[in-house]
Amino acid sequence: MVNINDLVGVAYVNGGRSVTQGLDCWGLVREYYRRDGLTLPKFPINATHTDEIMDEIEKNQVNWEKLEEPKIGCLVLLRLIGNPLPSHCGVYLGYGEFIHAIAPYVQIDRLSRWGPRVVGYYKPKEGVYPHV
């Protein structure tokens, strides 16, 4: 089980990859997986550049396995309000909750609150990303 207690409340920073300086949604996912023993790529993309985000999702989808149902530790891919394309992500914690970084800070939220904006659940394929 990954300890996330110190992540809740960390400031949201666009492009953030540091617990001390702030995280964006991908920075949070990277930190979660790092604590779980995997090194995910950085993807230094501005969170407002949805076209670039979609390009990275498409290029890297071969490295992720789509799940029918959420499992603890899986990536949750989401759409933000007003955007038809997925451009946000978090990590499923169980019991219908996930952790994500969205302004103003990292928070735990209910999947039910996001409803149809949940695009899917994914886990990294075995052997694709290096272990820490």
Q: For 22-39, what is each residue's pLDDT tens digit?
A: 999 999 999 999 999 999
What sign for the dihedral angle of Cα 12, 8, 39, 122?
A: negative
Identity of the amino acid at 90: G
Q: Which residues lie across from 8 on neighbouring strands? A: none
Position 123 scores a pLDDT of 96
The b/e string for 17-33 (b: 16+ C-beta within 10 A; e otherwise) is: beeeebbbbbbbbbbbb
Position 18 scores a pLDDT of 95
pLDDT, tens only, 95-105: 999 999 999 99
Domain positions in the chain are 10-124
Cβ atoms of 86 and 79 closer than 8 Å: yes
Residue of 99 and 131 predicted with greater confidence: 99
Using a cut of 0.75, tell me whether the model's pTM lies above it: yes
Give me the mean pLDDT over the 83-88 stretch. 87
Most confident of 12-16, 51-55, 80-84: 12-16
10-124 is a CATH 3.40.190.10 domain: no
Identity of the amino acid at 44: P
Position 4 scores a pLDDT of 98
